[in-house]
Amino acid sequence: YPRVVMMSATIGAPEFMAEELGIEHWEYEQVPNQWGPEQRPVHVLPCPTIGYKSPESSYVKQAELIGNALSALPSDWSGVIHVTSWKQATSLLTRLRGQGFDASRLFVPQKGRGTNQQLEDWDRVKLTRSGMLIITPSMSEGVDLLNERICIVAKCPFPSIAPGSYEYERMIYSNNLYKLRTAWGLEQRCGRTRRGRPEDYDTSFERNGYVAICDGSFQKMGIKKYCSRDFVEALVYD
């Protein structure tokens, strides 16, 4: 076709999206967000890199940062903590408990249940007490968390790169595309609790939510470069 028009809220940096699609000549226009960056801050916590080679001290520090952040928020705020595996979910719960955080507020869904079933379980759990927090690897996209005020990404969602997989071939072809995919997943996770309603955003007088990234690989791997401009504008380094 002589011209193609595409529109999306989470394409990441447009130059890498064009590379992904094989488009050599393109123009990009950013439609201003009706909510200013100060109304939707994404806090970047001073966390070490979290990965399979990270020492135990890094995981302990992460739990400390997350616990401190949660303790500074209203105790009746519920929310989601995103991880990328069930092992990470249970391990983080254990470490938060070890830090002295009230573990009765933490909920890890049953592995093997579908996302819809997990949402049903979560809706029941939220009724048991206020301020519940779900730690899960399976609510990263397609989920509207309309009552939750807290959203923490405890692990940058780097794609699995098992040899022979599509993501492995993508990374071999271009590391840019591999990191772009990570940026897409990160932005999706950070947007689960801000769904376009006025009550989802901060005002000059009131904080209505809290979104944070607690994984040092976000900075170490330079993922910011691959995120959309709108998302980058909202980053706050604590």
What does each of the 238 residues of the chain score in pLDDT, given as a tens digit? 677 788 877 788 889 888 888 888 888 888 889 999 999 999 999 999 998 889 999 999 999 999 999 999 999 999 999 999 999 999 999 999 999 999 999 999 998 888 888 889 999 999 899 999 999 998 998 899 999 999 999 999 998 888 888 878 878 888 888 899 899 999 999 999 999 999 999 999 999 999 999 999 999 999 999 999 999 999 999 9
- The CA distance from 170 to 178, in Å, is 6
Closest to 212 (Cα-Cα) out of 77, 70, 24: 70
How far CA 60 is from CA of 67, 71, 215, in Å, comes to 10, 16, 12
What phi, psi does 143 have (nearest 5°)?
-125, 125
CA dihedral 77→83→89→91, nearest 10 degrees, is -110
Task: Output the pTM of the full model.
Answer: 0.92
Q: Do the Cβ atoms of 13 and 183 come closer than 8 Å?
A: yes
Instruction: Tell which residue, 39, 120, 196, has the closest CA to residue 107.
Output: 120
Position 1 scores a pLDDT of 61
At 167 the pLDDT is 79
- pLDDT at position 171 is 80
108: tokens are 């890890």
For the chain, how big is the Rg over CA atoms in Å? 18
CA distances 59 to 14, 94, 139, 171, 219, Å, are: 33, 11, 22, 27, 17
Strands 79-82 and 150-153: parallel
Helices (H), 26-103: 56-71, 86-98
Main-chain phi, psi angles of 85, to 5 degrees? -155, 160
CA dist 63 to 45, 105, 174, 193, 200, Å? 11, 15, 33, 21, 26
Q: Give the CA distances from residue 47 to residues 92, 137, 154, 233, in Å, rounded to whole numbers and listed in that order.
A: 14, 19, 10, 20
